[in-house]
Amino acid sequence: MVSPIPPSLPLDLLERYGHSTHGCPTSISGVIGDQPFTESQYRLALEGVRDKPDEPIAVYVHVPFCHVRCLYCACNTTVTHSIEKVDQYLDALEIEMDMVADAIGRGRRVEQLHIGGGTPNHLNEPQLARLMEIVERHFSIAPDACTSIECNPRRSSVGQLELLYGLGFRRVSFGVQDLNADVQRAIGRVQSLNMVRDVFLTARATGFENINLDLVYGLPFQTPQSFQATLDQVLDLGPDRVACFSYAHDPSSRPHQHAINAAQLPSASEKLALFHHAVKTFTDAGYRWVGLDIFVREDDELFDAQTKGQLYRNSIGYTPLPAKQVIAFGPSAIGELGGALVQNQPDLRQWQKRLNAGELPAAWGRVLTESDRRRREAILYLMCNLQLPASSVADLDKEYDRLCKEAEHGLVEVSEEGIRVTPQGRYLLRGLCGTQDSLVDWGSSQWRFRVSM
């Protein structure tokens, strides 16, 4: 269990490692070295997937629409109320899936399907049905596949949730962020506890097997007392998973965040205290802390995988599934396939334009060398499983020396058996494992069970 007292971490470490990101990246250019990725490079990567026809794949679909932009948001999204614009997006999505399915082989087995955004449930019911029809026409979704979708509770209805369940989704994630009225007004996202509870209970009654709630810490007006109230209210609902993300204030690249007064944001040490409240609240209630910021029940497959040292993290999120090839669709969608990291054109119109011209819309990417691949796998293993056996330590390359230095601060332990993240180090795990590194941070926020809407 976690100590009830927040760990004492020097301010310089908090400044160096405490600035986690939240929300979808609009681009990974810069993160992976400003490397444009050509259509021919993308086709070559797809050939690598085609050459392994029996290997299961994961599919991520990015829906880039919201009915309003929340002020804290870092997602790649377009505010629209136009049904026609969404239909045009679905037309282009169908073209993209046609082209990709032709390249890798139609009917490939999908073991993980995630629909993220933006706000996927911004689509109306016929549009949601059409989206799934497009997916199922091009891929074969395994009977036991992990099928998940992100939903804004303010856009969820009984009929919509029943439709999503009927379309095959068994997992749903709702963006809650915070339940304090002052915080909600400051971030432009007002939703009452009663409304969130009604939507949650409706999803439970509908039959969803796994319900995740997203929270964000580091928002304006959050205090230990107010955030604790939100944590207690969320805990009372009994979600299967809770994701607790750090808000990153970056108005220079997200102009709408200028509407948030930086003077009202908690400091780095105050943010750490807020997250510690989350850790203590959920672990005291029997949840297990998995990876960076996910809390799950003890019988959850993610905790079981972490216990066995088998947890993995792809551009969708944490997973115990073997599918490491992620095929991504939609503007800004990030995938990993055939030994390459790839991101689609982030701009909706440019993404559509390229597809309508018969071109695959990859914009940024990186082909991994064998050294890149081994180093990335080692860092991800450490991030997911909180340890790295000695047999893989050499794959860290330059990261090993840096981690040895952090042992002096008590963040890791280095021994003949390998490297282990300490309980104190877990609070700075994202920075500790180098997620600003070009091989790791490329898809750190697209994922999961998660992207908040």
pLDDT at 26: 35
The predicted model scores a pTM of 0.91
Q: Is 60 annotated as a binding residue?
A: yes
Strands 412-415 and 418-421: antiparallel
Ramachandran region, residue 238 (left: φ > 0; alpha: ψ -120 to 50; beta: rest): left
pLDDT at 149: 98
* Cα gap 43→47, rounded to integer Å: 6
Q: Is 24 annotated as a binding residue?
A: no
* Cα gap 276→293, rounded to integer Å: 11
pLDDT at 34: 57
Q: Is 404 annotated as a binding residue?
A: no
Distance of CA 255 to the CA centre of its chain: 22
pLDDT at 4: 47
Give the CA distances from residue 108 to residues 97, 104, 114, in Å, rounded to whole numbers and listed in that order: 12, 8, 16
pLDDT at 280: 95
Please report the sign of the dihedral spanned by the C-alpha atoms of residue 59, residue 64, residue 67, residue 73: positive
* Cα gap 147→156, rounded to integer Å: 18
pLDDT at 1: 45
Q: Taking a C-beta distance cutoff of 8 angstroms, is the pair 59, 329 a contact?
A: yes
Residue 269: how many CA atoms within 13 Å on its side-chain side? 6
Q: Is 240 annotated as a binding residue?
A: no
pLDDT at 6: 59
Residues facing residue 112 across a β-bridge: 58, 146
Q: Is 410 annotated as a binding residue?
A: no
Q: Is 236 annotated as a binding residue?
A: no
What is the Cα gyration radius of the chain?
21
* Cα gap 381→309, rounded to integer Å: 8
* Cα gap 293→429, rounded to integer Å: 9
Q: Taking a C-beta distance cutoff of 8 angstroms, is the pair 138, 101 a contact?
A: yes
Superfamily of domain 11-369: tm_1862 like domain (3.80.30.20)
* Cα gap 106→108, rounded to integer Å: 6
* Cα gap 231→210, rounded to integer Å: 19
Q: Exposed (0-12), middle (13-18) or buried (19+): which is 329, by Cβ within 10 Å?
A: buried
Q: Is 217 annotated as a binding residue?
A: no
Q: Exposed (0-12), middle (13-18) or buried (19+): which is 162, by Cβ within 10 Å?
A: middle
Q: Is 417 annotated as a binding residue?
A: no
Q: Is 66 annotated as a binding residue?
A: yes
Q: Is 338 annotated as a binding residue?
A: no
Write down the H helix ranges in 263-415. Answer: 268-284, 301-307, 348-356, 370-385, 390-393, 398-406
Query: In the structure encoding, which two tokens stand for residue 334, read together?
Result: 């990030």
Q: Is 117 annotated as a binding residue?
A: yes
* Cα gap 150→24, rounded to integer Å: 13
Per-residue tens of pLDDT for the chain, all 453 residues: 444 455 677 777 776 665 544 444 333 333 344 588 999 999 999 999 999 999 989 999 999 999 988 888 888 889 999 999 999 999 999 999 999 999 999 999 999 999 999 999 999 999 999 999 999 999 999 999 999 999 999 999 999 999 999 999 999 999 999 999 999 999 999 999 999 999 999 999 999 999 999 999 999 999 999 999 999 999 999 999 999 998 988 888 888 887 898 899 998 889 989 999 999 999 999 999 999 899 999 999 999 999 999 999 888 889 997 677 999 999 999 999 978 999 999 999 999 999 999 999 999 999 989 998 898 889 999 999 999 999 999 998 888 888 888 888 889 999 999 999 999 899 888 888 864 445 555 444 443 323 333
